[in-house]
Structure 1
Amino acid sequence: MEPENQTGVAEFFLLGLSEDPEWQPLLFGLFLTIYLVTVLGNLLIILAISSDSHLQTPMYFFLSHLAFTDICFSTTTIPKMLVNIQRQSKSISYTGCLTQVCFVLFFAGLENFLLAAMAYDRYVAICHPLRYTVIMNPHLCGLLILLTLIISIADALLHSLMVLRLSFCTDLEIPHFFCELAQVIKLACSDTLINNILMYLVTSVLGGVPLLGIIFSYIQIVSSTLRMSSAGGKYKAFSTCGAHLSVVSLFYGTAFGVYISSAVSHSSKDTARASVMYTVVPPMLNPFIYSLRNKDMKGALKKLILFATVSSALVLGF
């Protein structure tokens, strides 16, 4: 039977990571834990930065925005998956699916550009330390955040509006745990050539330019660090970049891993499982990377936890 063309789609169906009923409780518990750890960890980072005057610097300014982005990124995908598992349902409305596509693109774009901004901040701090406060002034930091917001919003809206022009068939099953742009486009009955060209072109430009900026920044950082005569100076320079470099490696490494796996594997399920590595894992691990590898963050978190403990004790005492 030929699939019928539908101009008014009511809902899509998210097949998730596994259709085996025995796996559903395990998946629910695992992703609920991941989500709670992600939200709590990134929230602690934001609270620690906002409460400690020593952390009111450009590096931590960008880090707090990255933590907020990670919370929103996870909130865009995981709660809907948990609700579907709990209700034993796979459906997501047409509007809900397009909204999810839009927000996933928006927050992924924000993460991408924030990592580039943080790399530039480290480049200025190490290669031009005497001019750091002049270059990385509040006006420039605010401008960089505004620019990332504008570009990310434009990218998300462009792709979402291009999906609106498509008509879909009766086969509306998405072999994923969220509405991914590429998977939604595959379900369309109408011509998707423009959508595919736009998707690959924009992704290459908006993904490639920040990545090239990060690579250039670190080439300059390594070159500048190697010219330092002091071993202590070299260690300090590399230690300030260690956490950010780990986060960059995690984000881009998992994203490229998903791209390679989708190109090699013809199984949609394998691609969906691989996508977990860049949509779910990095937001959860980022707070641990920054808190464990950063002495200032450790100190701020200890103060925050101590303050919360003392406050709770006083409240309970009264």
Structure 2
Amino acid sequence: MLRPAGLREEVALAEHTTLRIGGPAQFFLSVSTRAELQSALSWATEKGIPVAVLGGGANVVIADAGFPGLMVLMANETLVWGPNTVQVGAGTKLGFLIAQSLRRGFGGLGWLIGVPGTVGGSIFGNAGSRDHALGDYVISVTAVQPDGQTKKWEARDCHFRYRASRFKDEHQIIWEAELKLPAVDPVAERKVLVKAAEKKQSSQPLSDLTAGCMFTNPKVERAQLPMSLQNFLEPDSTISAWRLVDMVGLKGKTIGGISVSTQHANFMINTGQGTAGEAVQLISFIKQRVRDTLGIQLQEEIQFLGFLPHAHHH
């Protein structure tokens, strides 16, 4: 099997992640065509090399020792417009999609403003806010299976749910997606976007090096919560993870160069010299404190790459 064209070795990954952490990839390939992706997967399979995918590099902590395999960077940033649909390449940045949609009179994605990810990664983890999820806008997703076969899934077969999808469950690589976006008045929508951006700016540490939310919002029984938190239980029986981290006094908690944001307690910040080891320690520390104090088990929303299985607590 031919070695893929453009394959690089020992490529620093820190600059490809929003947290700016992580050692080198053993092999690294930027792909912009499906054929490139498929031949890279075949090559890796034949060589017995593990594969991981990077989009915007948000929501990921890469081990200090790097990734012992092939890291694929999705560079298929294509947009093909239909009457009220758009076919989007997985490597397309969310901000670019939002801006281009606005130019064509489509909207609906303002709640994603300020999210540094790509369309592929955001569909993979069904990115969302309290009231929206990207899966709600999906018509279909074309994904490449671990064996290199391509399959197109209709939205109903994508198993979208809170921060998860079939693609995450089955380690499929999203190649492109067809989205249905509502038509909007561009002037009004621009105001919505500006407002959403201002709200994000004031409530989240967007200017810091961060991997986005550390934990998903857990489902809890009302009785598990101290009285002071019971009013914050959402109708779907979840509570914002940041409230729990704040409640146990860990806003600003620091291990080495990694700390919990004082602005939003579900964000972890690299103050400049942080390591992946410190990030894992901090997450484990928070989970243990929340478990010991409140009896609630937090789950990471962040993915860990390059760590040995079970080297960190799930």
TM range (shorter): under 0.3
Structure having the higher helix fraction is 1
Work out which of the two has the higher radius of gyration on C-alpha atoms and give 1 or 2.
1
TM-score, normalised to structure 1, is 0.23
**Which structure is richer in relative contact order (CA contacts within 8 A, separation 6 or more)?**
1
Structure having the higher strand fraction is 2
